[in-house]
Amino acid sequence: MPRYEPLDAGVPLKASGSDLVAFQWQINGISADFSMADDEAHLLRVSFHRPCIVRLLDELPLSTEEDETPKEGLVPEHFAYRLDGARFARHQSEAWKYVFGPVAHYQFVTGDTCMDMLSGGSPSFSIVDRAGGLSLPAQT
């Protein structure tokens, strides 16, 4: 059964009012920038500093993806989760999970584009200037 554990991203973020606006592979990880409906000048950056398996989906396919049982722990309008028991993580390479593990499954939900992440690292959250400048840690 998929179990969702809400994560605190450090900013009040209404999931349906957010969207993925940038994604970048880095040497050992990724960074993804998400819009914040109430703040046009800044973005919420989610970073992983370990190797990752990433899935980016339009919200519609994600919302219709079938798992065997009801989803436990979902919170309306919540953005960031750690998941246990979801199909995405179960169907990834066992060899990759062994080499880079232990790994965890994370999901970031927006009104348009959702991101699933499998990584041995944990996400870090920061606020970045939309114009590409200053980066500040999110308040957690």
How far is the C-alpha of 128 from the C-alpha of 131, rounded, in Å?
Answer: 8
SS3 90: helix
Please, which residues bridge with residue 124 across strands? 47
- Please give the model's pTM, rounded to 2 decimal places: 0.87
Per the CB < 8 A criterion, the answer to whether 94 and 102 are in contact is no
**pLDDT tens column, 15-60:** 988 999 999 998 889 999 999 888 888 999 999 999 999 999 876 5
Which helix (H) or strand (E) element contains residue 117? strand 113-119
